[in-house]
Structure 1
Amino acid sequence: MDRQAREAWKAADAILDALLDLPLDQREAHLQALAPAPEVAARVRRLLAGSASEGPLDRPLPPLDPLEALEPATEPSLEGRRLGRWRLQELLGEGGMAVVYRAISAAPPLGQQAALKILSLAALARGGRERFLREQSVLARLRHPYIAALYEAGVDDDGTPWLAMALVEGQRIDQWCQARGLGLSARLDLVGQVAEALEYAHRNLVVHRDIKPSNVLVDEDGLVRLLDFGIGRELSSAATRTMQHALTPEYAAPEQFDGQDTGTAADVYGLAALTYRLLTGSAPHDALVVRAHSPERPSTRAAHAPAGSLERGFAPRLRGDLDAILLRGLAQDPAQRYPSVEALVADLRNYRARRPVRARAPSAGYRLRRFAQRNRWPLAAGAVLALSLLGGGLGVFWQAQRAERAAQEAQLQLRYLDSLLREMAPSTAEARQPDRSRLIASAAAHARQDLASQSAALATVLLTLAEIAQAAGEHGHSAQLAAEAAGLRDGLDGRDSPGFAEALVVRGRALWSDRNLGGDPEALAEQALAILERKAPDSEAHMRALLLQQQLDQGLDRAARAKATGDRMLGWCRARDRQPVELCGEVLLAVASLQDRQGYVREAERTYTELIELEAMRAGGDHARTLQVRTRHARAVLRLGDAARAAALLEPVLAAQLRIYDGTTPELAATRGALAESLTTLGDFARARELHEAQLAELVDQRGSGHPDVAAYLGNFGVFLMKAGDFEGALARLAECAAGYATLGGPDHAGVHVCNGNRADVLREMGRAAEAEPLSRAALKGIRDAFGEDSPLLAPRYSNLGRVLLALGRDDEALPVLDRARAAYAARGNPMAALMRLHAVEARVRSGRVPPARGWDQAQAARRQLEAGFPTRNPMRIAMLAPLARIACRAPLQLPCAAQRDEALTAMAQPTSPADARRQIDLALQATAQAAAGTRFAGTGQ
């Protein structure tokens, strides 16, 4: 596409935005009044035609023979039939209202798969068309990662209505839980996903009204998809009476049987009924039982589950809070239920965090028991100590202890001091503390004065305060307090004692957290480990020393030792059922971070999910620690290709962090950066750039330009700039990234090679493949040397080099490299393997190894794999269009050259398409223009 054509598309797109806000009958007149250039006006009309807001189901249906309509279908199968652009394949399911077939697109985008839902003639005669219209209207409004999306709708020539929806390869939720032996917490996690989908639907004024296990599928990654809004309705529409033959008796709310208007209360009931089924093994009511009373208590029902079943083992844990929560959600009277799905899920979170639940009477005894479960330290000593601390009177309390009770009491005091002071680190909006540093300093001063004669107690207090200071970001203060504690323990027990080693670890962590403090954290870790391996090899102190070593190894690219240490710590925690929670939370985070860094993203995503559960139970879903892990989890989801879900996960995290922190923090920066990456993938480049620039400035200001986090972020920013079309800016940032890593770890640091590999990508996109080749080869070698031949990080490096060689026209050299890239991606189940296959097919067609027709079949197979692996809006779906067009136009009279070019042209005109993909499409269109012109001449006989 030349510059003039691009400008015409850009102008057309700007006009389109204004026209879409007008009624249909006013758009043409307004367009004529604007008087754009003819080529711009033509493009606007083309865009308007493609954005018609009326669904095809709004067309009148041809009349039906009533007798024929009421007869059951006699055709045994519809396989092979074509409806719209969809060709039906095997039957997926059927019910009284409709049948569902797997279907594949026979027109661009070719090979796309869908679940095609077809209304039966008998249902049509009974008024089912209204339900189909409603489902089309509802689904068209909903775009959420946990809701199966609507592609399109239509009516066949014989009057058969159909809906084409995203194909979900999954298992119904109750069967998924049974097949994998999921525990109670994991099942509640799935309920939380269903709740997110319902909350989204309700915010968009849509109620589902048919929540049941068969309408919730779980895919292989453990993600739910909510199906079948067929009896749902829009809350803004007039009240509708639920068709009794359409509802599911075991899960429907009582008011639905009476034909009453059902708002969101019906979905509250449905979600509670689904949860009841997952936790007890059976529905709340039998299909034939009249709803005259509430269902049996979940704990009682679970206790009567088959012997040996998981649900039977849940019974003791259901008793009490979960009984109350589910029975309130299943209340006969909608007014007695939770007011919203959010309220029900909030009470489930209260249960998991051991906080009082709203479904139970708020008695003082109940609240006290819950508080005691959350706070294991003695309440009386804690209350006195808290008052003493806040009043500046720590010394009064400590001096009042009798000498013979000092050792016993000190342990209780210090444990609660740890619990109390940790709350001074940012955690919740209610716990903001702008003067944390002053309070820590004040507590340390009181300790030095009041415990001057009790060196052991003073050392423990100072070490606890050092850990608190580190949690609050006061790393210098933390290092100073830990050094003081180490000196005291040296004087008490010597430099070969576990207590001394424990202080070294705390100081080492502070020095590693802020490299500007100087010192040698690695030497401190080695010294501490040497002591603890001999004196306390199975202790928490030893695990904390290993944790520090693993973090140092990870930062210094000692991948093998870091992984071995992580496996050792993880085994220690799992042998103790992840107790102690705090330490094992840190272990899970370290292991997930290493998995993420080394390219094992799917494993990292699972570990982050486990950690989120642990942190939410420990501190709540909106605690700062949990939010940090939720950000990391969302980044893993993004790297797995689901940008829409990642953005949906990150938006509430960012909002919660803005309520917690007073100013800019590394945690906020990380969330902004991840959200910016997600928005980049979704095409919102302007907002993404603002977030990137703000975050980079904050990181430099807080951590200094030489910090590894700054180098890493420069790399992220450089990749973003390439996607946004600022190629020169991308080169500059990536060069800074490489220089930063070289300063930190030398020219062979893995970060240097990653940044240079990305520089090669940019140079290739700029048409400077000859310059890119040596950078790409060096990056491949460097990553191989650092992480080994089996590292997943090699896949993008092989991909980079293979595409550079293709750009240089060296197909014979490119093919084995692309095959290595495909194998590396496929080994981890990464759908990028399909894109590598597509590039290899193009190389084989171009070099004459494979005829175009055969190559086209192979390319379509690769396309199907890629579309199955990436969500609809993922840029990889756009990246495939350039090679597809070039392959099709190798034989334009045999293959759909013109159709493939049109699809590529449409994608290129979208402002959300990344710049590198648009450039590749532009080059492909230029390269295939002559072939396309030849096709037109052949078609007209010229």
Structure 2
Amino acid sequence: MPHDAARWARVAAWFDELVDLVPAMRAARLAAIAAEDPPAAEELRALLAADALEHGVLDAGLAQAVRDLPAGAQAAAPDSGRIGPYHVLQPLGEGGMGVVFLAERSDGSYEQRVAIKLIKRGMDSAAVVQRFLRERRILARLAHADIVRLLDGGVADDGRPYYVMEHVEGRALTEFANARRLPLRERVALVARIADAVAYAHTQLVVHRDLKPSNVLVDAGGTPHVLDFGIAKLLEESGEQTRTGTGLRVLSPAYAAPEQILGEAIGTATDVYALGLMLCELLVGRLPRQRSSVPAQLAQEATHETSERASALAARLAAAEVDALYGSGIDAKRLAQALAGDLDIIVATALQRDPARRYPTAAAFADDLRRWLARRPITARADSASYRIARFVRRHRAGVVASVVVAAALLAGLGIALWQAQVARGEARRADAERTHAERQLARAERVKDFMLTLFREQDPVSRAKAQARTASQLIGDGIVQIDATLGEEPDLQAELLRDLGEIQINLDDGKAGVATLARAWEMQRRLGGPDGLAATEAQVAYADGLYASGDVKAAAPLADAAIARLRDLGAARGARMAQAESIASKIQLIQGNIDEAERLARDAIDVTRALHGPRSMELVGNLALLGKVLHEGARFPDALAVLRDAIGIVEAAGGADNARAAVLHMSVGDTLRVQRKYDEALPEYEAALRIERAQLPHDHVILGGTLIRLGDLQRRMGRLDAADASLAEAIGILSKSPGGQYAQALQFHGNLARAQGRLEVAAQRYRASFEAFRTITGDSVYTWLTALEVVSVLGELGRFDEADALAAQAVAAMAKLSKDDSYEAAYVNSVIGGLRQAQHRLPDAIVAQRRAVVLIEKAYGPDHAEVAQARAELAASLVATDDPALRREAGELVEQARVTLERSGGETAEPMLGLVYLVRSRVRRDDGDLGGARTDVAQAIGRLQAPEHARRLREARVLAQQLGAG
């Protein structure tokens, strides 16, 4: 329906009259209007219906009220697509009387994108135009960096007035702060800056009257821009426009001050109230009170309005809500503590019902915020008792005078009673919390007791439900089904028990099921208390541990690292779950070759566990075993043995010599002795571990498989090849059902065995299989590329130099990133590359690599170790093959040092290395003209190089013997 200015003014006046009437009077008045002007009455009914909506005219503006009128206000741009000299690009938003377009200057004067507010078609009545022009007049007098500036104005070709503002690319205040997870102090500083802009407007005699987060845009640089002075008023005006309940009333009830809702006088304190609301919402994500959308009820609420403290609102926030505001660095309790005190008082002062008791100006409000930021005393104070008493006396003067004597008599007793009541309430709250906790623990204990009884009943043919006893894994599975069926209404207890049972499944070597159960427990805790709550984080640690135990190192690593950081933020850095998380992370760092970080994490886990459980507790054993492994990998063998034997002592004192945990420790001691070539000492350690495991564990347990691969490798080194084959085959059978790091290692050791048997092609195949397994399980880890170097070494012996060179280049590049230049791993890289270059007769390259290997191995083991002697012998073999007399003399010195070391160490393991030493010395003596000595040495070499894995050296020794004419 078309509107002329007079008609719209008449409808608007009737609406303002009707909107404040009680329903009965409103109905009667509307009936009278209908008799006089039926079309106007229909429009008024639509307006009143929109005003009664939950998000009605007071929230959305006049456009919401008239959106359904057939010929009402229209938001279209001019048909030409131009407004004055500006080309319209797209609509940006729509208000009560105008629509805002994004536009750009198109007359060549200058280039700038702007926001143009154009009065709507159908809204260009005299009253609306007057108000529109008044808004433009208000903006024209405001020139502040944080207030959107007026740039231009005029009349469009179709006769509608417009004005041009700067265009701000930004987000609403709360959206910006929450998207960036702004810290508390930055939020306060942002509101202080907004308050400065509002204070400036007040100095220009302008009150905004509709401040809210959506009317403050913050750009990417963090600068706020106050906009939409559409219902602002000039303080020097008088008459009806100084009051809210006149003309085209448009405000946002959630952010309106009580005086706006009640039609009382408007002043600068009105904007202070809105600033207090914005500060509260910015700090805690919600307003300090809820308001009705029904006008009559809204007015009633505003008359007696009170606001809740910001700290009290914060204390009730869920973990997910705090995370949405600030991220994971703070919880509800700490946020409430930060808000309590001065910030609470600042917000409460700004939100006083009586405008006279608020901050007198926005500048005063900003000043107190900056005082808080500077940790100085604020000017606002909480309501004093004298103020409340004075207000009461003024309202009830006669009653107070009559009862003052009685009040005096009761005052002391009343004070005591109030104090006692407060204490009682506090005790009651504590009692309720303790009772709830006790009830939860009782329920948990009952579930655990029932489960344990079920385990015992399974061993009783009369009591158990089935003819055949269920396995432990089956019992756990049935227990999970029962928990799901009975604890659906207690999800927190359900999640806790699932976590416990999932960890048991992992310990029972039921990795797939355990990981699935732990994943469920973690997801449930994330839903219950938010993803960053303590319960969810502890469940995340258990899940990460399960993933690691089942071989999924890639997935476990980020979960463990994130849990460690979050536990610190939550104040749980000295708890049992932190020790568990650090142990997982230490193992992963060890795999990645970061020895120092692995040791730091392992030692901190020990410190945490020792503080929690005591210096000789069984809980320490796993952490000590891990530290022993880390020290072992760092070649600190004496330290590793001391830590591991200390752990064995704890286990045997608490659980006896046959405790299953002792088996793992014996195995670790065997590892440390084995790499030092102390085979005779290592063998009884492995045998002790195997004896305990076969007695205490299932026949296919992963721990048993781990011991067997180590025993197999030891047997191979000791020349017991058939026994080694049996041990490694059994280990691979056990570990292949759930391939992890130990499975890949078993394949590698099987390759070593094939090499010892002289089956080099088989060895290459097994090494490649191990390399691919490590790569799948651990990614580009140290173990992956050390195994690749085993492939390189065998390919070199086979003469497949192109393949060897290609893989060697990859391995060297990877190891350069994964290990330190002076590490044992670097020594091994140089040793393998030196051997390959020697086989290719690239002697200068071989010598460079082998010299480096000698230096690094000596650093790791000391000068008198067998590994050092072997490295010296390999270097001497390259030196003696050159035509340089000086290098051949150096070769003679090196092999003599190696011979002394190896003959002093003795044992079967030194024999093959002595074979190489005598072979090199034979060549040195031949070149020196000592043919008799050369013949003696080559005979010694042949006798010591009979094992199949030394076939290449044996062939070289026999060729040399023929050249020397030796028998």
Higher relative contact order (CA 8 A, sep 6+): 1
- With structure 1 as the length reference, what TM-score do the two structures score? 0.49
